[in-house]
Amino acid sequence: MKKQPTKLMSLGLALTLALGLTACGGDTAEAPNATHDPASVTGQAAIGITLSDWLGGGEAIWYITETPVSQLGKDTEVETLLLLEPDGTAYAGSADGLTLGDFAQMDEADIAQLAREAYAKEARAKLLRGFADASDEDRMRMLDSELFEYSLPGYVDGDIWAEEILNSSGLPEALDEPLRRYLEVFQSYTGDRQVLQEVISGLCNGDSEALSYASETGSEGGEAITAVVEQAYAIQDEIAEVLSAEPQPGRWALGLNTDQTGNSAESVTFAWCVYRPDATEISSVTCYASSGEGKSVYDVLYGGVDLNGGGALVTRVDSSYNVVLEDTDSGLPLDAEPQELFS
């Protein structure tokens, strides 16, 4: 894997991200376009084109491989598939084992759709997977085990405060408000809390009959307990809607890395983020200046930049290319951590 370690930000920060992209340095050249034949960067080969100009030149499909540019071939496995737009929008996801040879035989519009679908998979919440399709009882069990750290029965019984649950489990901000109302529902019950605690404990432990048993046996407050649980189930529906919402498109950004003197560019950080309901995941690679002739895969030429530790960030080209580094006064952030590129 050539991606830098993943970093997570809360959704609250993710929703306030504003990416300002400035195309700087070098002459402008149109990048490969996902909807028509890629424009050539051959004309830039003599003087060079910056990565920001290339990536920002138009909607294009890029691939991250574990193979350097010089060794690209039909069997080169693509690690990450990216559809990048000049406004900073990015759809990135797993290529599911497909190779450059596979992509070379596909239409660019179809690959762009694959990238969007791959991003949609990546953008699903990692917490509470399958929550939307689960039964009411299983949803309660999932909340108790995955978010509340098995504290829900204790909270219902009055042994644990709401803030202890909400603060200890690092809950995603998008779920904070509905989860607070969820806990308040149980606090609204004025009957025998021991009976309510037994019902909730049973449901959290997979006993789907716990609620009906309390009602059928004429337990104190049976109807009131049923009403409380049904209110909780209604809020679980709201939580399911949040987790199933259409994902917000991702973003991409660049940063410039300098040498030990701080005066000269050494490499470029290419970062992209995936927005999930529960967190924002940021990945990055470090790119070096590169040049050469496009590598032929069937009837398609690929070229791009080599990455730190091996691998490459590549796209379709017409012929030769020459990627140069921006100047340190280009406007790109200097020596920034990947997450800082989105703040």
pLDDT digits (tens, 9 = 90+) for 290-336: 999 999 999 999 999 999 989 999 999 988 899 999 999 999 999 99
More confident residue, 149 or 23: 149
- To which H or E segment does residue 52 belong? helix 51-55
> Which tens digit of pLDDT belongs to each residue from 110-139?
999 999 999 998 988 777 888 989 999 999
Average model confidence (pLDDT) for the chain?
Answer: 82
Asked if residue 303 lies in contact with residue 68, where contact means CB atoms within 8 angstroms, the answer is no
Indicate if the pLDDT at residue 101 is higher than 70: yes
pLDDT at 325: 92
Indicate if the pLDDT at residue 284 is higher than 80: yes
Q: Are strands 320-324 and 49-50 parallel, antiparallel or unpaired?
A: parallel
- Distances from the Cα of 316 to the Cα of 72, 138, 295, 320, angstroms: 12, 48, 9, 11
Burial class (CB in 10 A: 0-12, 13-18, 19+), 271: buried
More confident residue, 34 or 228: 228
- To which H or E segment does residue 23 belong? none
Q: What single letter denotes the amino acid at residue 115? A: A
Indicate if the pLDDT at residue 156 is higher than 80: yes
Q: Are strands 250-258 and 295-297 parallel, antiparallel or unpaired?
A: unpaired
Strands lying side by side in the sheet with 49-50: 49-50, 320-324, 290-293
Over residues 68-84, the mean pLDDT reads 95
How far apart are alpha carbons 319 and 240 in whole angstroms? 50
Residues of the chain with pLDDT > 70, as a percent, come to 81
Residue 333, Cβ neighbours under 10 Å: how many?
16
Enter the tokens of residue 148.
């509340």
Over residues 250-270, the mean pLDDT reads 94
